[in-house]
Every structure is written in C-alpha cells, then in structure tokens.
C-alpha cells in the first residue's frame, strides 16, 4: 500500500505544506491577539518555521519569517487586554526567537546542502577512480601477452627471411603467437568475470604441468637475460583445485618480477631463479595444501618493501604500475589460497602461494 502523499508531486507537496503553515500561523496570530494571558504566544511561530525549513526553499522561509514577525507586531497593537509593558517584552522575546530560529535553521540547511554536495562529489571521484583502476588493471594484464605476441611475430619473420628459411622454428613462433593471443582473450574474459563478481572457474589440474607450459613460453626471455633456471618440482604432487588460467597469470607475474629483479645482471654472481612445488601435509591453515615458491638471487627486499609489496599502485620499478602483485593476491585469495613474500638470508627475494587440493 502506497503512503498517502506518495502520489503527489514535489511542487504540490510544497504548496500544500505552505498553505498548512499559513493556516497555522493565522491560528497563532489569533491566539496571541485574543487571549489575555501574559505569555509570548507568538513564539509558537518558531516550530512552524522549523517545519518550513524542512520542506520549503530558503526564499519562502525568509518570507514566512517576515510574515511571522509582522503578525507578532500587529498582534500586540490589536491586543486590548493584559499588561502593556509585559506585552512589549513578550513581543520582543518572540521577535528575537523567530529571527534566531530562522537564521540558525537556514544556516543548518546550508551546511547540510554543502555536506550533501561534498558526498556526491566524493562519490563521483570514487567512481572515476574505480574506472581508472579497472582500465589500468586491464592494460597491465594484457600488456604481457601482447608483448609476447610482438616478440614471437618478430622471431617468426626472422626465421622465414633466413636463407634457407627455418620452417620448424617459424612454426614454433607461430604457435606461441596463437597461445598468447588466446591468453590475452582469457585475461579479458577473467577481468570481465571479476567485474560481474563471478566466482573463479575452478577445476582440478596439475600445477607442475601448468607451470611447465608457462616456462616453455618464457625460456627465450630467461636465455636473453642469461638466467639459470632451477626446478625442484615434487613428482607426485596431488592436483590442486583452482582457476587454471588465473593461477598461470599469477605465476607469469611472479616470474616476470623475478626476471626484472635480475636485470641488469650482477657482476658478482650469476643470475638464478629457483622454482619449487611441494605438498604441505597437516591440518593447519596453511598445511594440507600445495605450495608454490619462486626465488631469485637479486637485490632482495627490505622490511618496508615487504610490508608494502601487495598494496595497490606501490612499486619499486621506475616504469611499474604497482598492480601485478595486487592482482595476484586478489586471484589467490579468490581461489582459497594464500600468497606472501620473504627475504632470503643469502640475498634475493622469494614469493610463495598455496592452493587447496582437489576434492
């Protein structure tokens, strides 16, 4: 059932409120004029003005305030009973009360309007910031497969232009282009699903196999930077239950960070990246899960950096966006895992994440 005044337009509602207030003011005027009690009956104009401030514009409130004060003065002139001096005092009290009530009420309404406008402005800024973060996130995630496509396309062209053409390697480069194009599409599909608050497309899969596929695509990048890759993958690792595409994206982010941490190479030691997978037996929160760890022997992380790493837009890279680790943490959390970073005692940084076992 609709409220009694829900069908009225705002203008009609204000008009009815104005008429009602005028009638009540007249009644106050009559009571103030005809009664012979030595009371300031005109102060009852103040609650009427407070009601007017709630529903009417500032201009109408000022007009009603003027009418109230005029009625109060006319009332004391028309009153024939009571003490004249007391009537003058009561009239003065009523006029001051009416004027102060109207002033404070309008001031409060002005402050409330300014606060409302500020909230609306902050809301618009928040929406723009969210849109900017989403756009930056898409650009960050898609930039990796697009860069890989560009690199593979250049390699494919060089193999075809060689004399004689190396068809086998050109076909391999073309396959990498197809794979990375599909990866870019999967990234966009994932971002779209995140904006729709959809749950990850979880399934059981072999984490070692997913890692091996990713490393086959990154081998050229590591060879280019003369990085030694060491793997310690548990052979009988049980399958994990997560979104395979999302987890591969996290591993790609961590591997890219490790490669960038080793660039430029150190003159004191050879660049090295170690990747381990293992099963953590037990029933504690971070046990009974599969553990993935990636370590590099780069400059490492300070205590401050460890505490800030996963914050949005925080980065140590001159051209970084500060989104890769934030996105990685969001993905791992959404897949019921946990991600963290540590500093290695012998130098370098290490990143770890856990994933639940397949049921």
pLDDT, residue 275, reads 94
Q: Tokens 């996130």 identify what position? A: 137
Q: Of 304, 307, 315, 306, nearest to 350 (Cα)?
A: 306
Both tokens of 101, joined, read: 């009530």
pLDDT, residue 196, reads 62
pLDDT, residue 352, reads 94
Q: Which residues contact 194 (CB under 8 A, 6 or more apart)?
A: 330
CA dihedral sign of residues 117, 118, 122, 125 = positive
pLDDT 10s digits, 307-356: 777 776 666 665 555 667 887 888 898 888 999 998 887 778 999 999 99
Phi, psi of 38 (to 5 degrees): -85, 60
Both tokens of 291, joined, read: 């553990």
**Rounded-to-integer distance, Cα 128 and Cα 115, Å:** 20
Q: Which residues contact 340 (CB under 8 A, 6 or more apart)?
A: 351, 352, 353
Interaxial angle between packed helices 207-224 and 167-195, expressed in degrees from 0 to 180 and rounded to the nearest 10: 120
CA dihedral sign of residues 261, 263, 265, 268 = negative
Mean predicted lDDT score pLDDT of the chain: 80
Q: How far is CA 174 from CA 147, 152, 156, 334, in A?
A: 14, 7, 6, 33
- Vertex 63 angle, CA 61 and 69, to 5°: 100
**Rounded-to-integer distance, Cα 359 and Cα 337, Å:** 15
Both tokens of 154, joined, read: 């250049």
Q: Which residues contact 209 (CB under 8 A, 6 or more apart)?
A: none
Strand 228-233 relative to strand 240-242, pairing = unpaired
Helix (H, G, I), strand (E, B) or coil at 307: helix
Mark the ranges of the chain whose per-residue pLDDT is less than 70.
Answer: 1-10, 36-40, 80-83, 121-141, 190-199, 217-218, 220-221, 265-267, 283-286, 312-323
pLDDT 10s digits, 208-259: 999 988 787 667 667 777 888 999 999 989 999 998 888 888 898 888 888 8
């Amino acid at each position: 059932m609709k409220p009694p005044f829900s069908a009225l337009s705002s203008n009609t509602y204000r008009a009815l409120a104005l008429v009602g207030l005028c009638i009540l003011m007249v009644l106050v005027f009559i009571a103030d004029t005809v009664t012979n009690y030595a009371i300031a009956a005109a102060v009852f104009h103040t609650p009427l003005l407070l009601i007017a401030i709630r529903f009417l514009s500032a201009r109408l409130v000022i007009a009603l305030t003027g009418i109230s004060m005029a009625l109060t003065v006319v009332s004391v002139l028309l009153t024939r009973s009571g003490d004249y001096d007391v009537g003058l005092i009561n009239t003065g009290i009523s006029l001051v009360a009416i004027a102060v009530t109207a002033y404070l009420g309008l001031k409060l309404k002005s402050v409330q309007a300014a606060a409302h406008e500020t909230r609306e402005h902050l809301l618009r800024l928040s929406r723009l910031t969210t849109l900017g973060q989403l756009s930056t996130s898409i650009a960050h995630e898609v930039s990796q497969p697009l860069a890989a496509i560009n690199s593979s396309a250049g390699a494919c062209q060089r193999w075809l232009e060689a004399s004689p053409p190396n068809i086998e390697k050109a076909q391999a480069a073309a396959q990498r282009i197809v794979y990375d194009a599909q990866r870019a599409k999967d990234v966009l599909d994932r971002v779209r699903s995140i904006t729709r608050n959809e749950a990850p497309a979880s399934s059981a899969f072999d984490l070692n196999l997913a890692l091996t596929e990713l490393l086959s695509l990154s081998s050229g990048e590591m060879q280019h930077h003369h990085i030694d890759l060491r793997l310690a993958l548990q052979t009988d690792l049980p399958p994990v239950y997560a979104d395979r595409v999302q987890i591969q994206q996290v591993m790609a982010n961590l591997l890219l960070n490790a490669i960038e941490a080793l660039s430029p190479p150190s003159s004191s030691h050879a660049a090295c990246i170690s990747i381990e997978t293992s099963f953590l037996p037990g029933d504690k929160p971070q046990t009974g899960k599969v553990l993935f760890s990636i370590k590099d022997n780069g400059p490492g992380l300070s205590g401050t950096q460890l505490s800030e790493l996963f914050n949005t837009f925080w980065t140590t890279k001159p051209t970084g966006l500060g989104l890769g680790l934030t996105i990685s943490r969001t993905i791992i959390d959404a897949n019921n895992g946990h991600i963290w970073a540590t500093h290695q005692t012998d130098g370098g940084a290490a990143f770890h994440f856990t994933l639940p076992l397949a049921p």
